[in-house]
Amino acid sequence: MEVKHNIILALDVSSIAEAMALMDKISDFLDTVKIGYPLVLAEGLESVSKIKEEYGSKIICDFKVADIPATNQKIADVTFKSGADALIVHGFVGSDSVKSCLESAQKHGKEIFLLTEMSHPGATNFLQPVSMNIASMGVELGIKNYVGPSTRLDRLKMIRDIVGEESFIISPGVGVQGGNPRETLQFADALIVGRSIYLAEDPVDALQSMIDSIKL
């Protein structure tokens, strides 16, 4: 998945009106957005369809799917039917649950991103000890897309070493959580940025400043 300017907007707002007002401002600069539970729980999966139709953006649904295989497949199927191009899936639930999402993606001509390790402090408690195992499992399953943290560059490098240069890594944690854009892109292919843009007084200026900092 190619990403314009190596930046994915985390569209973690809670109304379609707010989402589209933001997209009206920044859609010329970015071509990929990540939509999670805040917007979908508030507005339904129709929000994915509306943004897809209005802006033509590539959409990654960040549902961190983590259930039994049968339920995972149902979640993946309905997500892809809504217009999502990709779905983020937890790996700690095991290969059978991940494989069910992968099979759904292949059926619909879509993609999944395997979440290896999250960017917040609490990820060190339970997820971090198994994150490299999750990355290795993804390689065994033939998965090519991964999520790794910009807040722990040493860990992100380890994930890259496991999944290989041919894999595509997207990385959350840049901006408010402290991740550095240019340093993160040494190991990741695209940054996931949310609050630094949508909470900014001038979202376009904030986005442009980040784009400029990457190009320096």
Q: Catalytic: 74?
A: no
Residues 50-60 have pLDDT tens digits of 999 999 999 99
Query: Is residue 216 predicted with pLDDT exceeding 70?
Result: no
Nearest to 168 by CA among 155, 181, 187: 187
Q: For the full predicted model, state whether its pTM sits above 0.85.
A: yes
- Rg over CA atoms, the chain: 16
Q: What structural domains and CATH numbers belong to the chain? A: 4-215 (3.20.20.70)
Exactly one of 25, 52, 58, 64 is catalytic; which is it?
64
Nearest to 152 by CA among 125, 184, 126, 182: 184
Distances (CA, A) of 92 to 6, 101, 126, 143, 174: 27, 14, 10, 15, 24
Residues 124-176 have pLDDT tens digits of 888 889 999 999 999 999 999 999 999 999 999 999 999 999 999 999 988 77
- The proportion of the chain whose per-residue pLDDT surpasses 70, expressed as a percent, equals 100
- The DSSP code for 94 is -
Looking at residue 116, its pLDDT comes to: 97
The tally of CA atoms less than 13 A away on the side-chain side of residue 179 is 35
Looking at residue 215, its pLDDT comes to: 79
Residues 106-129 have pLDDT tens digits of 999 999 999 999 988 888 888 889
Looking at residue 119, its pLDDT comes to: 86
